[in-house]
Amino acid sequence: MREPFLDIITLFVTFAVYLWVKPYADMWAYRIASSVKIATRIKKVGTQASEVEGSFVDEEDENIGLSKKGPMFGDNKLFNFIGEKYPELIENMKVLLLKAGVRHDSAMEEFMTAKFTSGLSIFFIILLLLGTNDFGVPFYLTCLIGILGGVLGGHKLTDLNYEMLANQRKEAIDKGVPDLVDLLVICAESGLDLTKSIRRIAREMRTSNPVLADELSLTSIELEMIPDHRQVFTNLENRTDCLEIKTISKTLSQALEYGSSLSTSLKELAVESREKRMLEAEGKAAQAPTLLTLPLMFFIMPCLFIVMLGPVIIGMLDSFASK
């Protein structure tokens, strides 16, 4: 029974690695394709990169949003049938993809394809393991277990994978919020309007926090295109799912609606953000002794005992051996 067990572990580890790597590979492939597309357009026009810096940013910003061109799943009749039958399921998928940062034209179709391929892979893995090894499971029960495992595993594992990406994006956005507030204060006091401030901050944060920079770029585009600024900030809140971003959005929306001082409101937010960051640091420092208990017991204390008691034990053994 040892070899089938090792086969099961190997296959499931391989499949788990595939599910973990695939979204990252898709995003990097899309970014590389977008960069090549932009570089080809610039080269075709025949202008220098410095002369088209603004258009380069615009092209880059265009690739941030979720395209509305064409049907949701193209010509795929099966996916379109599922979308018509289960609109709530499709809406939840769209929200998950937005939070995960996957917003290109074929995002939904690739997401559904990943679910189907993952389900088929799990089905064949279960069928292969239970059918080729002597476990004593009937064939009909093997097929039933494979179908249930494929449906549930392919659906849930893909969702969990993209939820992991969404949580990573949320953590990255949380880390960049204090810098965002400080830069908004600087831009507001320098006389820039909100749209230009957000676009400038997105350009400056492109290297330090590209996730937050992408969201700000999309927000600046929506502020220029959508008349209702409250809808723009609501879209930002839905994409980021971050409490501090919601606070900033409400503050900016109220400042634009009631004409209150933007710099004063942002200064108060900056103070609150610094205080919150300080409280989080103090909380982590207070947890440090508790977290260090196990490493101290299992890694540091044994080494100290060996160093301190080792020579004594060796001397005692030598004295007993000499007698």
What pLDDT is attached to residue 52?
40
What pLDDT is attached to residue 5?
61
**Inter-residue long-range contacts of 234-242, CB under 8 Å, 24+ positions, other chains counted:** 238/95, 238/98, 239/98, 239/99, 239/215, 240/99, 240/169, 240/170, 240/173, 240/215, 241/99, 241/166, 241/170, 242/170, 242/173, 242/174, 242/177
Per domain, the residue ranges of the chain are 2-166, 171-288
Share the mean pLDDT of the chain.
76
Query: What percent of the chain clears pLDDT 70, i.e. is strictly above it?
Result: 75
Residue range 277-293: mean pLDDT, rounded: 85
Residue 281 confidence (pLDDT) above 60: yes
Residues 15-45 have pLDDT tens digits of 667 666 766 676 676 667 656 665 665 565 5
Residues 47-95 have pLDDT tens digits of 443 444 444 344 444 444 444 333 456 566 777 777 777 778 778 888 8
Q: Is the pTM of this model over 0.85?
A: no
Name the band, by pLDDT with cuts 50, 70 and 90, for residue 168: confident
- What whole-number distance in Å separates Cα of residue 252 and Cα of residue 248? 6
Residues 88-145 have pLDDT tens digits of 877 888 888 888 888 777 777 778 888 888 888 888 877 777 776 666 677 777 788 8
What pLDDT is attached to residue 98?
83
In this predicted structure, which of 10-14, 21-25, 73-77, 273-277 has the lowest mean pLDDT? 73-77
Residue range 168-190: mean pLDDT, rounded: 87
- Single-letter residue type at 103: R
